[in-house]
């Protein structure tokens, strides 16, 4: 697949310790044509590191919001998408990194089926502290199960559905879904599904996978077990801020756009139920 050229978007906020590793891991992939590093406010020395990398690496673009304020991961990824030059877009968080041959199965999947508009693959975890391990085990049942079995922790769908089946499985819950570091999408799918929801400061990725899987064919590759990237779980990771309140905002957003669609009653009923249950949970506190 000679035309498989990827733009990698890396949002950066307080990632001085990690961002150079992330950029280099993206540059090491032969399919990557550009790395777009988007600063989301300057809380530490990450800006200078990104500026230096852009000065010595022709493939690195370093951009930031016009007002140099913090806009959140969704709006920051959107800015990177809008500056992307190539037909495929992948994402990487600034404190994570790609593994060698990140796009091997991705490329094969797109080449095999031209109806596929996005590909998701497993992402592994490096848990660097006891605090991170404790917090991670409390967030998701699937992580607790993997820890109890002493399996490698993977962020991936238990059943690798595609398209509307993936959409319904995320709505129902219990199957997990794609992780940002493991997703690659065609620009044509963005034209149909839109950009990340900039209002959501957390869970904006889950909301986006729902839209991508509803409006297009977001599909797994043949790789269901081998991580293509590593998520670095450290004490400052934003994942630990997730709670019923942040989940309520997610499902309020999902309810907003799905109410305008011709969804089957069962699927829409499950979305409404999730929203109502979270409303009750938040109201009871």
Q: Residue 235 — very low, low, confident or very high, per pLDDT cuts 50/70/90?
A: low
Question: Burial letters for 62-75: b for 16+ Cβ neighbours within 10 Å, e otherwise?
Answer: bbbeeeeebbbbbb
Flag whether pLDDT at 86 surpasses 70.
yes
Q: What is the pLDDT at residue 239? A: 63
Instruction: List, for residues 136-184, the tens digit of each pLDDT value.
Output: 666 666 565 665 555 567 889 989 999 999 999 999 988 888 999 999 9
Q: What is the pLDDT at residue 151? A: 52
Instruction: List, for residues 252-275, the tens digit of each pLDDT value.
Output: 999 999 999 989 999 999 999 999
Flag whether pLDDT at 240 surpasses 60.
no
For 27-54, the three-class secondary structure string (H helix, E strand, C coil) is: HCCCCEEEEEEEECCCCCCHHHHHHHHH
> Where do the structural domains in the chain lie, given as residue ranges?
6-242, 243-285
Task: Please state which CATH class domain 6-242 belongs to.
Answer: alpha beta
Whether the model clears a pTM of 0.95, i.e. scores above it, the answer is: no
């Amino acid at each position: 697949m000679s035309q498989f050229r990827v733009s990698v978007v890396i949002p950066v906020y307080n990632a001085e310790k990690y961002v150079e590793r992330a950029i280099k891991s993206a540059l090491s992939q032969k399919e990557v044509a550009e790395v777009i590093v988007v600063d989301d406010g300057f809380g530490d020395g990450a800006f200078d590191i990104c500026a230096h990398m852009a000065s010595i690496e022709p493939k690195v673009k370093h951009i930031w919001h016009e007002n140099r304020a913090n806009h959140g991961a969704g709006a920051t990824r959107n800015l990177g998408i809008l500056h992307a030059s190539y037909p495929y877009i992948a994402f990487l968080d600034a404190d994570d990194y790609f593994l060698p041959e990140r796009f091997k199965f991705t490329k094969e999947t797109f080449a095999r089926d031209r109806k596929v508009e996005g590909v998701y693959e497993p992402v592994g975890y490096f848990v660097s502290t006891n605090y991170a391990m404790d917090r991670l085990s409390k967030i998701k049942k699937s992580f607790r199960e993997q820890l109890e079995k002493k399996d490698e922790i993977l962020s991936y769908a238990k059943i690798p559905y595609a398209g509307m089946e993936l959409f319904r499985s995320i709505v129902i819950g219990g199957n997990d879904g794609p992780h940002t570091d493991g997703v690659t999408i065609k620009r044509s799918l963005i034209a149909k599904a839109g950009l990340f929801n900039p209002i959501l400061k957390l869970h904006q990725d889950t909301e986006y996978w729902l839209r991508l899987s509803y409006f297009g064919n977001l599909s797994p590759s043949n790789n269901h077990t081998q991580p293509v990237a590593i998520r670095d779980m450290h004490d400052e990771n934003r994942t630990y801020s997730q709670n019923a309140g942040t989940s309520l905002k997610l499902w309020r957003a999902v309810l907003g756009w799905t109410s305008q669609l011709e969804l089957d009653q069962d699927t829409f009923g499950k979305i409404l139920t999730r929203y109502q249950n979270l409303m009750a949970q938040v109201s009871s506190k």
